[in-house]
A = this chain, B = another copy of it.
Amino acid sequence: MTPTRRAPLADAVICTVDVVLLTLHQHTLHVVLSRREKAPNQGALALPGGFVHTQEDDSAWHAAARVLQDKAGIDSPYLEQLATWSGPDRDPRGWSVSIVYYALIPETLVPAHSADVQMHPVYALPLLPFDHGQMVAQAIERVRNKSQYSSLPVYLCGDAFTLPHLQTVYEAVLGEPINKVSFRRKMDEMDMLEPIEGALESGGAHRPAQLYRLKPEFQRSLSVVERGINA
A84 touches B84 (CB 8 A): yes
The answer to whether A87 has its CB under 8 Å from any CB of chain B is yes
Chain B residues with CB below 8 A from A53, complex form:
11
Q: Is A54 an interface residue (CB 8 A)?
A: yes
CB of A94 within 8 A of chain B? yes
B87 touches A84 (CB 8 A): no
> A55 and B87: CB pair below 8 A?
no
Q: Tell me the residues in window 86-106 of chain A with beta carbons closer than 8 Å to chain B beta carbons.
A: 86-88, 93-95, 97, 99
**A94: B residues at CB distance < 8 A:** 54
- Which of A12, A86, A227 has the most chain B CB atoms inside 10 A of its CB? A86
Are A58 and B88 within 8 A (Cβ)?
A: yes
Instruction: Produce 1/0 per residue, A53-90, CB < 8 A to B.
Output: 11101111100000000000000000001011011100
Number of copies: 2
Cα–Cα distance between A81 and B100 once the two chains are bound (Å): 13
**Is A10 part of the binding interface, using a Cβ–Cβ cutoff of 8 Å?**
yes
Bound Cα distance A83, B82 (Å) = 8
A13:B13 contact, CB within 8 angstroms? yes
Asked whether any CB of chain B lies closer than 8 Å to the CB of A9, the reply is: yes
Give the complex CA separation of A52 and B54 in angstroms: 19
Interface of A is mostly: loop
Q: Is the CB of B95 within 8 A of A52?
A: yes
Q: Is the CB of A84 within 8 A of B60?
A: yes
A86: which B residues are within 8 A, CB to CB? 52, 59-61, 99
Q: Which residue of B lies closest to A100 (CB)?
A: B84
21 residue pairs A–B, Cβ–Cβ below 8 Å? A9-B93, A10-B14, A10-B16, A10-B51, A11-B15, A11-B51, A11-B52, A11-B54, A52-B97, A54-B88, A54-B95, A57-B88, A58-B87, A59-B87, A60-B97, A81-B83, A81-B84, A84-B99, A97-B99, A227-B227, A227-B230
Q: Which of chain A's residues 1-59 have a Cβ closer than 8 Å to chain B?
A: 9-16, 51-55, 57-59
In chain A, residues 168-196, which have Cβ atoms closer than 8 Å to a Cβ of chain B? Answer: none
Compute how far the CA of A11 lies from the CA of B58 in the bound complex, rounded to whole angstroms. 14
